[in-house]
Amino acid sequence: MTAMTQSIVIQVGQCGNQIGCRFWDLCLHEHAFYNEKGIYDDAVSSFFRNTDHACDIPTKIGTNQIKNLKARAILVDMEEGVINELLDGDLGEIFDNKQLITDVSGSGNNWATGNKEYGTRYKEKILDQVRKAAELCDCLQCFFVLHSMGGGTGSGLGTAILSLLADEFPDVYRFVIPVYPSGDDDVITSPYNSVLATNELTEHADCVLPINNQSLINMCAKIQQALPQKKFSKSAGGSVSSGSKRIGSDKPFDQMNNIVANVMLNMTSSARFEGSLNVDLNEIAMNLVPYPKLHYLVSSISPLYVSKDVGLYARRLDQAFNDLFSKDHQLMVSDPQRSLYLACALMVRGKNVQVSDVRHNISRLSSNLCFVNWNHEGWKTGLCNIPPVGQQYSLLALANNTCIRHAFTDLRTRFSKLYSRKAHLHHYEKVDGFDRNLFSESLSSLDNIVAQYEELEHKSGSGTPQCLPRIKVL
């Protein structure tokens, strides 16, 4: 019996699996580093299960010691390449065959294929695996679903899985970390896929942390610029890569994916490790989602780092707090400082960061940030004692900010370009179970979200806050 809650990670498609792979690598590393005795404890149990009762965890990666730990993960891809490579790597041993779902034919960058065709065909198999994974948890609290939005498998099947989870496990929180394609994405149908998938996220997720490919690219470029050439030399190549051998490896996507993995680690750290102000995962949705559908959170991280020794370090803690709100550090191409905050979580890791540092910085930064008039103090703060491996401290902000609407508006423009010419529609329409109306439904759902954010901005941004007259007690 453990005293903590557990989470299950469901990684779908090439992108989801690559991010997942980096996450498991870093997560294992983190626990191995802090778990000096190598004993299976509550903190480890949140993402790993122990398959035998000898209760030891490996203290080194790369040797043959990973025997007893299995990741609480389900790996789904409709191609075999990425997952096979993952299983062949060092991390292969933390997954077993019962937690894999693969096919050979791919989804052809078609959301309808992933969502309707594979979603129906693999429904029972997926549910069966999720149920089994859930049974192995003492107290299942969260699902983390990782996938891309532009392709077919991740966006289609990933969102199909999400709605299965919503039906079957209504009480378990559903966090989705989707990667949105950049504007110059080479998948021609990616705007379609993204819009269709976003509709599903709006309907079925509790919290979505959208990540933009472009910001990951920018961040890596920024780190690269600031570093001596040697450490980053090979990252310029553009080939698709997957699976990894070790931390700080040379593969280009690994650097980007590490950033996402770090967000996940930091976000869950306060639930796994001790601190003077704990943040349980269920508190995130509670504090950051004032209206059920406005659950898109822009994340930012500071300092920027991709691994233990590759990163940009702020000179002072205050500088790191500044960075957290600057444009360069957002995982979505957006500028929250120029938009309206509905609420913001500030999660701090590090032994030497105290509540006074957080208070001091909040009051310092608040004057530059615009909060909605009914939530001027809409902060949620957390303090975790344990920093990431190799760091002094690390800051993560999760912001419910109206700037997300710009990203959605851009997406809509790209969607309309295709849709107005009815381009590629027949690929979707020929898939069984796909209803043409889904396009217009998804589009109006997206418009609705944009409009809601706009309205909030409009109401709050008109200068003087409209004060609601107080009820009078007679």
State the residues that interact with other proteins by CB under 8 A: 2-5, 42, 138-139, 141, 274-278, 280, 282-283, 285-292, 342-343, 352, 354-357, 359, 362-363, 366, 372-381, 383, 467-468, 470-471, 473
CB of 214 to other proteins, least distance (A): 29
Q: Which is nearer to other proteins, 352 or 444 (CB)?
A: 352
Nearer to other proteins, 165 or 369 (CB): 369
Q: Smallest distance, Å, CB 5 to other proteins?
A: 5
Q: Which is nearer to other proteins, 98 or 376 (CB)?
A: 376
CB of 402 to other proteins, least distance (A): 14
Residue 457 CB burial class (10 angstroms; 0-12, 13-18, ≥19)? middle
Taking the least distance from each CB to other proteins, the nearer of 22 and 174 is 174
Tell me how far, at minimum, the Cβ of 357 lies from other proteins, in Å: 6
| 26/294 with CB nearer other proteins | 294
Residue 468 beta carbon to other proteins: minimum distance, rounded to whole angstroms: 4
- CB of 165 vs other proteins, minimal distance in Å: 17
Question: With helix as H, strand as E and coil as C, how does the chain read?
Answer: CCCCCEEEEEEEHHHHHHHHHHHHHHHHHHHHHHCCCCECCHHHHCCEEECCCCCECCCCCCCCCCCCEEECEEEEECCCHHHHHHHHCHHHHHCCHHHEEECCCCCCCCHHHHHHHHHHHCHHHHHHHHHHHHHCCCCEEEEEEEEECCCCHHHHHHHHHHHHHHHHCCCCEEEEEEEECCCCCCCCCHHHHHHHHHHHHHHHCCEECCEEHHHHHHHHHHHHHHCCHHHHHHHHCCCCCCCCCCCCCCCHHHHHHHHHHHHHHHHHHHHHCCCCECCCHHHHHHHHCCCCCCCECEEEEECCEEECCEECCCCCHHHHHHHHCCHHHECCCCCHHHCEEEEEEEEEECCCCCHHHHHHHHHHHHCCCEECCCCCCCEEEEEECCCCCCCCCEEEEEEEECCHHHHHHHHHHHHHHHHHCCCCHHHHHCCCCCCCHHHHHHHHHHHHHHHHHHHHHHHHHCCCCCCCCCCCCC
Q: Which is nearer to other proteins, 246 or 360 (CB)?
A: 360
Q: Between 277 and 425, whose beta carbon lies closer to other proteins?
A: 277
Strands 394-401 and 298-302: antiparallel
Residue 169 C-beta: closest distance to other proteins, Å: 14
Distance of closest approach, residue 271 Cβ to other proteins, in angstroms: 8
| Nearer of residues 284 and 304 to other proteins, judged by Cβ | 284
Q: Which is nearer to other proteins, 64 or 356 (CB)?
A: 356
In angstroms, what is the minimal distance from the CB of 393 to other proteins? 13
Comparing CB distances to other proteins, the nearer of 193 and 287 is 287
CB of 336 to other proteins, least distance (A): 16
Minimal distance, residue 143 CB to other proteins, in Å: 14
Cα distances (Å, whole numbers) of residue 158 to 57, 87, 97, 298: 31, 21, 20, 20
What burial class does residue 301 get, using C-beta atoms within 10 Å of its C-beta: 0-12 exposed, 13-18 middle, 19+ buried?
buried
Decide whether 289 or 438 has the Cβ nearer to other proteins: 289
Identify which of 161, 166, 159, 92 has the alpha carbon closest to the alpha carbon of residue 129.
161
